Amino acid sequence: MSCTSVPGLLEETMFLKLSEAVSVAPQITAADVGAAKAAGFTAIINNRPDGEAPDQPPGETIAAAAAAEGLAYAHIPMSQGGITPGMIEAVRKALEGQTTLMFCRSGTRSTMLWGLAEASAGKDPVALAEAARAAGYDLSPICGVMQQMAAR
């Protein structure tokens, strides 16, 4: 992956496709929100807790940029405290009917939350893990949980 020559703007290839409706990215900036809209996204989900790193833009800055572009925005932070059922449900609901870009520091937490949210909606965990693998992410640590969720 590489960045464009324009500082702060992600290349479309930085949006790693997990499904037809969901892609993930590492940390974005407010300047990247326009690129997300141009790439066809209608929503952004921020899975990074505010203040995690000193160089990280505040979520409210990205939320304001999303609002200015007419994109839905949800802040569903995943910290070292782990994933809760409420977070999974919030992601599942935020994904409904949207073409969504999810982000965190590297995209890993977003991919995990996506996999769990989709499994909770009955999607095939093996297909989810394969889609994540194709994008460069490993869902094997949560595959058992995804299987349990999909079986409900």
Where in the chain are the domains? 12-151
The predicted pLDDT at position 13 comes to: 56
The predicted pLDDT at position 8 comes to: 43
> What's the pLDDT band for 12 if we cut at 50, 70, 90?
very low
> Does domain 12-151 fall into CATH 3.30.540.10?
no
Question: With contact defined as beta carbons under 8 Å apart, do 63 and 95 qualify?
Answer: no
The predicted pLDDT at position 9 comes to: 43
- Average predicted confidence (pLDDT) for the chain: 90
Q: CA neighbours within 13 Å on the CB side: how many for 30? A: 11
- Cβ-in-10-Å burial (0-12, 13-18, 19+) of 11 comes to middle
- Region for residue 66 given its phi and psi (left: phi exceeds 0; alpha: psi -120 to 50; beta: otherwise): alpha
Rounded Cα–Cα distance for residues 74 and 96 (Å):
12
Q: What is the pLDDT of residues 41-78, one digit of tens each?
A: 999 999 999 999 999 999 999 999 999 999 999 999 99
- The sign of the dihedral angle between the CA atoms of 95, 119, 76, 135 is negative
Among 6-10, 57-61, 110-114, 142-146, which stretch is predicted with the lowest mean pLDDT?
Answer: 6-10
